[in-house]
Each structure stands twice: as C-alpha cells, then as structure tokens.
Amino acid sequence: MYEAAAIGADIKVSEELTAGFEYGTAGGASDIVLLYAAWGFGSGINDEIDDGDRLIK
C-alpha cells in the first residue's frame, strides 16, 4: 500500500490570470500543500488621453 500521495494542477485562465494547487496525504493526514493565484494587472498607465473629440497620444 502507498504511504503518501499527491495530486495537483497548474491552471492558466489567460496571460494575466494563473493559479495552482497541490493536495497531499501522508501518514493518514491530508493537507493542502500548495495553493496560489497570480493576477497581472499591468502597469495601469494608459498613454492615450481622450480629449473630447480627439485622441491624444
């Protein structure tokens, strides 16, 4: 019989949003070994300004 086991996944929703997990068991106990998410918001800087009727770059 096995004494330890693990299962997990890396998940990619888009270039900006990724996640992952690993769930493991050992010695009769189970735990979340790894759980993460990363969301890249970017710089938040827009170099284009909407000035009413025209777009300034």
Kindly tell me if the per-residue pLDDT of 22 is higher than 90.
yes
Task: Beginning with the edge strand found earlier in the chain, give each strand of the sheet holding 29-39 in spatial order.
Answer: 4-12, 17-26, 29-39
- Nearest C-alpha neighbor of 9 from the set 36, 28, 31: 36
What is the C-alpha separation between 6 and 42, in angstroms, rounded?
A: 34
Q: Give the count of alpha carbons within 13 A of 39, CB side only.
A: 1
What are the pLDDT digits (tens) for 23-57? 999 888 899 989 999 998 776 665 555 556 655 54
30: tokens are: 């189970």
Instruction: Give residue limits of the domains in the chain.
Output: 1-41
